[in-house]
């Protein structure tokens, strides 16, 4: 992913520098799109460079205070064939989760502060945080709109030694005020990244305390079990092994606390057939995981919530040949419906970054399975 990156960065920098004098108001227009511009417009004052950082802080605080909550689902990573002849070796499914706070300014433009973590092209966790600005144009009276703008922020990647990397990227979207689909192009690597969002109109409601009769207060504990399908991808450069996706079941204990938080302790178990890509050889890999996650809840209705969060996990991979254990990050995203006073229905997508070394027969002790197990489950439980 680093090939030709220096040349591309240089060309992009030259193009950007050449565009600066295109019109005299470039910097003023650019600042208007930042959080500082939001603060200045709301205060009806022009501002200057001396106050830029204080205005940026004020604008960010306004977005966090007055904006609506946004639930983010990383959706797809496209490695175009014209630049990625080995695209089958890269991960195209960025399983993960994200949260944001978004606001529509007086001009109808969208501004958003976001935090997102997903599985990158090399099957490692990639956190990203920053700000987006999008100008929107309605599509007649359909309720849909299209938009274009930019994404700015920082990310950290394993192939960059986990050093913070700045992200000035173009951004396009299509959707409604509630559901939207976004796409960006990463010029350094020639990769297209897509994500989806659900925006909840909760700017006022989340500032109000929960009623004592709220199910999240009255019955703050949930003992549940669920069942579903676990997606796996070995994630190796030359994919010498195929790890089959299969069913998974889990059991967990959840505790609701404060206005919007939940803590989950969860156990899951699954079994997968592993075959060689280049000939005979088969293993049955059993994965057991224990995870502890903290998630933020957004109220869609009084009895229905969306949540997204992260934590840590312990996983054990075992075959008849050997076993290995792994400590790893864990991501969770899902919903909970308080269907009755003591009966909740919950569903989630849970991603673990487990690594198992030396567990496959005839692969060698140095061979590591990076299965990236992601579970899609639905279940029910007793609330008390």
By the 8 A CB rule, do 32 and 51 touch?
no
Catalytic residue among 55, 105, 121, 260: 121
Place of tokens 């802080």: 57
The one catalytic residue in 105, 120, 233, 264 is 120
Phi, psi dihedrals of residue 216, rounded to the nearest 5°: -75, -15
Whether 121 is catalytic is yes
Cβ distance 252 to 336 under 8 Å? no
Report DSSP state, residue 331.
E
| DSSP summary character for residue 209 | P
Give the tokens for residue 126.
Answer: 């990639």
Q: CB count, 10 Å around CB of 233?
A: 20
3-state secondary structure 57-77: HHHHHHHHHHCEEEEEEEEEE
Nearest alpha-carbon partner for 151 in 81, 102, 105: 102
| Of 32, 79, 233, 270, catalytic | 79
Burial (Cβ within 10 Å: 0-12, 13-18, ≥19) of residue 135 = middle
Q: Are 115 and 129 in contact (CB under 8 A)?
A: yes
Cα 78 → chain centroid = 16
Distance, in Å, from the CA atom of 123 to the CA atom of 279, rounded to the nearest integer, reads 25
**Residues acting as catalytic residues:** 79, 120-121
């Amino acid at each position: 992913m680093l090939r030709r990156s220096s040349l591309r960065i240089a060309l992009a920098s030259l193009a950007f520098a050449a565009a600066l004098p295109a019109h005299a108001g470039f910097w003023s227009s650019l600042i208007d799109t930042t959080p500082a511009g939001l603060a200045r417009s709301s205060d009806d004052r022009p501002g200057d460079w001396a106050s830029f950082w204080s205005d940026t802080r004020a604008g960010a605080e306004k977005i966090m205070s007055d904006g609506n909550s946004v639930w983010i689902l990383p959706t797809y990573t496209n490695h175009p064939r014209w630049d990625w002849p080995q695209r089958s070796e890269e991960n195209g499914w960025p399983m993960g989760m994200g949260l944001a706070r978004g606001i529509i300014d007086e001009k109808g433009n969208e501004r958003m502060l976001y935090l997102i973590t997903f599985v990158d092209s090399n099957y490692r966790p990639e956190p990203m945080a920053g700000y987006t600005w999008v100008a929107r144009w309605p599509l007649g009276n359909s309720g849909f709109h299209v938009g274009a703008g930019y994404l700015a922020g920082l990310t950290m990647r394993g192939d960059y030694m986990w050093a913070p990397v700045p992200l000035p990227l173009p951004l396009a979207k299509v959707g409604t005020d509630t559901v939207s689909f976004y796409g960006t192009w990463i010029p350094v690597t020639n990769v297209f990244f897509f994500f989806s969002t659900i925006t909840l109109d909760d700017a006022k409601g989340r500032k109000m305390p929960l009623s004592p009769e709220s199910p999240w207060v009255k019955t703050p504990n949930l003992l549940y079990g669920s069942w579903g399908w676990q997606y796996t991808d070995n994630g190796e450069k030359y994919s010498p092994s195929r790890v089959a996706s299969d069913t998974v079941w889990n059991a967990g204990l959840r505790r609701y606390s404060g206005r919007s938080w939940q803590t989950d302790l969860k156990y899951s178990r699954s079994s997968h057939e592993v075959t060689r890509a280049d000939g005979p050889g088969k293993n049955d890999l059993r994965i057991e995981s224990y995870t502890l996650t903290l998630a933020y809840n957004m109220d869609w209705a009084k009895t229905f919530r969306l949540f997204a969060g992260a934590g840590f996990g312990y996983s054990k991979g075992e075959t008849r040949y050997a076993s290995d254990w792994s400590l790893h990050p864990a991501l969770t995203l899902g919903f909970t419906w308080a269907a009755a006073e003591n009966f909740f229905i919950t569903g989630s997508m849970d991603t673990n970054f487990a690594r198992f070394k030396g567990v496959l027969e005839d692969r060698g002790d140095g061979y590591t399975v990076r299965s990236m197990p992601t579970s899609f489950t639905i279940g029910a439980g007793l609330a008390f």
